[in-house]
Amino acid sequence: MLLPLPHLLRPFLALAAVALAGTSPRLAAQAVRTGTVAERFQLLCANCHGKNLEGAMAPSMLDDVWTNGGDDESLAKSIRTGFPDKGMPAWGAAIPDKEIRAMVIYIRELRAKAAREKTQFVKPADSMTAQSELHAYQLNPWVGGLKEPWSLAFLSPTQAVVTEKRGYLYLIENGKLADRPLSGVPAVDTGGQAGLFDVVPHPDYAKNGWLYLAFSDPQQNAEGAKVSLTRIIRGKIKDGALIDQQTIYQGKLEHYIKAGGVHFGGRIAFDRQGYLFSPSGATATATRKASPSTRSPANSSTPNTAPAVAMNSTSLKKASTTAGPSSPTA
């Protein structure tokens, strides 16, 4: 349900668009190599494309659907020059040409291996038991029928809410998904990695009913271009709708990025003092200067318009928006 992904791995998302259309008999006959190139691929690429190119966050590289060329030169160029607007930087300055060529060959070997073995990816079992180093546990499905689920939060032992990246918020009662999503949820940018992100109840939800949401807020900038940025709101659920909505954080319009972009952040967490934390992601541009984290009461209806901090969410202290403690009656 929850999908944490190391930011180091995300820049290779755009690699899904390119691969190699053919495999030479010589390569098909040899084993897939190990060592530095294989390790680099597992570190930088496997999280998006899968350990064996089967696909994960990005599409499979085992089919033959390419949008940027399927030959060696096209793939090498994609690695070298990147696709910054899709989240993949240019690696030419960091990876020598000989290593880029080695990566191309390694991808060919993985594709040849898959063709030889006719790799099949079986759907996970509905129920399973497993043993970790410390505990035995059992996994069973609790709710189904969701598309692109992003976050799940329990409101009580029998009731929960779940967000779908595509912009829907659902109630779940005793493991049964509501027939329709809650109404009143704001418009959401759902292109690329944008979407409806975290849903988190107030620490004293049972008394005040506040539910917090993070999402990619679609807007239009001064030039008329479609842009978006992570925004945080709160509201209450009543009669199948999200009501009494208040904005907790909204960046200035000039800090919004191209709609359907990447690296929005989107998590929400409360600390023991009642402060709300949310990472800025990596949406800040290279020309935007980092500003100190800002604080305002979580029960304040005044939007926090401080610039997003130009730092990955791996550093929560510096790259977070904080809102002050909320009283149980807020």
SS3 17: helix
Matching residue, tokens 């009143």: 184
Predicted confidence at residue 239, as pLDDT, reads 96
pLDDT for position 172: 97
pLDDT number for residue 11: 37
Q: Whole-prediction pTM value?
A: 0.59
Residues of the chain with pLDDT below 50 are 1-29, 284-297, 299-324, 326-330
Taking the C-alpha atoms of residue 274 and residue 325, their distance in angstroms, rounded to an integer, is 4
pLDDT of residue 150: 96
* Secondary structure (3-state) at 111: helix
Contact 305, 251 (CB under 8 A): yes
Task: Provide Rg for the chain, Cα atoms.
Answer: 22
* pLDDT number for residue 111: 85
What is the model's pLDDT at position 283?
Answer: 59
| pLDDT number for residue 119 | 60
What residue ranges define each of the domains in the chain, with the CATH number in brackets?
10-117 (1.10.760.10), 139-324 (2.120.10.30)
35 sits in the region (left: phi over 0; alpha: psi -120 to 50; else beta) called left
First-last CA distance in the chain? 30
pLDDT of residue 9: 36
Q: Which residues pair with 322 in a beta bridge?
A: 277, 295
